[in-house]
Amino acid sequence: MQREFHVKSEAIPTLGITTYLFGLATGSLFLAPISETYGRKPVYVIAMFFFVVFIIPCARATSITEIIVIRFFGAVSGSAMIANAPGTVGDIIGDEFRALAFSIWSIGPLNGPGQYSGEMEKDTI
C-alpha cells in the first residue's frame, strides 16, 4: 500500500489494521445486544451483507485515507461474527466437544487480523 498510494511513513499503512481492530471492538458493542433482541440470524445476514458491500469501495479506493475509513466501517459490520459466534458455537456444539470448538474458533479472531511475519519491504517509494 505504501508504494501504490505513495505514502512515505511506515506508520500510516498500519492504521489500516488499527482502525480495523477498533471497528471490530466498536461494532461488537452494538451488534451483540441487537442480536439478543432480534436473534442472531437477522444480525448475521444484515451485517454480512454490509461487510461485503464495504469490500467493494475498499478494492476501488484511490487513497490510503479511503482504505482506512472504509476498513473501519467494514469491520464494524464484520464484528457480528466476533460478537455473536461464541453464542452460536455454544448452541450447536455439545458439552463434550465445546472446549475444543471454542479453541479452534478463537484462532481466527485472535490471530487473523494482525498476523504478519517478516519485515516490510524497504523499497524506495
pLDDT tens readout for residues 15-54: 878 888 899 999 999 999 999 899 999 999 999 999 999 9
Average pLDDT of 4-20? 81
CA torsion 89-25-20-113 (nearest 10°) is: -40
Residues 32, 46: Cα–Cα separation, whole Å: 13
Answer positive or negative: Cα dihedral of 30, 32, 37, 40.
positive
Residues 62, 92: Cα–Cα separation, whole Å: 43
- What cell numbers appear for 97 in the block? 466437544
Angle between helices 40-59 and 64-92 (to 10 degrees): 160
